[in-house]
Structure 1
Amino acid sequence: MSMESSTGHRLMNILIADDEARYRVMMGHLFEKWPEHQLTLAEDGNEAWTLLDDPKRWFDVVFLDLNMPKSGGLDVLRRLRESPLHKSVEPVICTASNDRETIKQAIALGVRHYIVKPWTEAQIADKLRQIAAKRAA
């Protein structure tokens, strides 16, 4: 059974991994508009991977900043792609990095969703709609 929120999004468990507190707070406020979604926040790539790899949790989507201490978004993305248990997690890169080499690395790791900061509510909503449509197909 597919459940949808009032915004038309299929309900999803979402992880936000960003070392900048202001972006985590902004995402938290944004998702208050879509309270049906389960939102989890991580401060860096190591914390994100610990949450992703916890067998008691599952995520549909992970928004990854690329430039984080300890372990960046590309490191987390590589781990996701190497793990058969995480093939269904849809990564969305959400970063200030928009240089050609970084974008090429993300694409090589199968990223289809790339948002350059500062993001807008419309961009986040659009990515969630795209992901929900893909999952429903």
Structure 2
Amino acid sequence: MKSCLIVDDSKVIRMVAKKILSELEFATVEAEDGQQALDACKAEMPDAVLLDWNMPVMNGIDYLRELRKLPGGDKPVVVFCTTENDIEHIQEAIEAGANEYIMKPFDSEILQAKFAQVGLLD
């Protein structure tokens, strides 16, 4: 079973994402901020990361830069999931190592399509 780390300071977003990802047969782990997410990745690297941008402690872009420096940190497919939709944010995310970018609010169809695009669904 593939694993996905859901990183978002909103419990509601994590809950919705977990439900969708469970239906797509992913094991999920949750983190409320980038630091928790980094700690989770050091313990066990996920196959995918669904990542929010704006969070306390460590934001999504800083987490992503740190993730990519870790041993095996180049492996997870990172999908930014955020309200930040200007071209500068998208470009910064891609340059930092994001594989995809989706806007909130998202639904099952959007998530499934993006995960299929990056080869996470069989």
Both structures adopt the same fold (TM-score exceeding 0.5):
yes
RMSD over equivalenced CA pairs, Å: 1.8
- Matched residues, number: 122
On the 8 A contact 2:6/2:18 being kept in 1, the answer is: no
Q: Is it true that 1:117 corresponds to 2:107 in the alignment?
A: no
- For 1:1-137, what aligned pairs fall within 5 Å after superposition? 11-34=1-24, 36-54=25-43, 57-132=44-119
- SS of equivalent to 1:58: coil
2-side partners of 1:29 and 1:90: how far apart? Answer: 19
2-side partners of 1:70 and 1:61: how far apart? Answer: 21
Q: CA deviation at 1:58?
A: 2.4
On the 8 A contact 2:65/2:97 being kept in 1, the answer is: no
Which amino acid counterpart does residue 117 of structure 2 have in structure 1? Q
- SS of equivalent to 1:66: coil
Report runs of 4+ in structure 1 exceeding 6 Å deviation.
none
Q: What are the superposed Cα offsets for residues 4-48 of structure 1, whole Å, 9 maximum, x if unpaired?
A: xxxxxxx411000000111011112223323x3211111111111
- SS of equivalent to 2:118: helix
TM-score (norm 2): 0.90
2-side partners of 1:68 and 1:127: how far apart? Answer: 22
Which amino acid counterpart does residue 28 of structure 2 have in structure 1? L
Runs (5+) with no aligned partner, structure 1: 1-10
Q: CA deviation at 1:83?
A: 2.4
1-side partners of 2:45 and 2:38: how far apart? Answer: 12
2-side partners of 1:29 and 1:67: how far apart? Answer: 22
Which amino acid counterpart does residue 3 of structure 2 have in structure 1? N
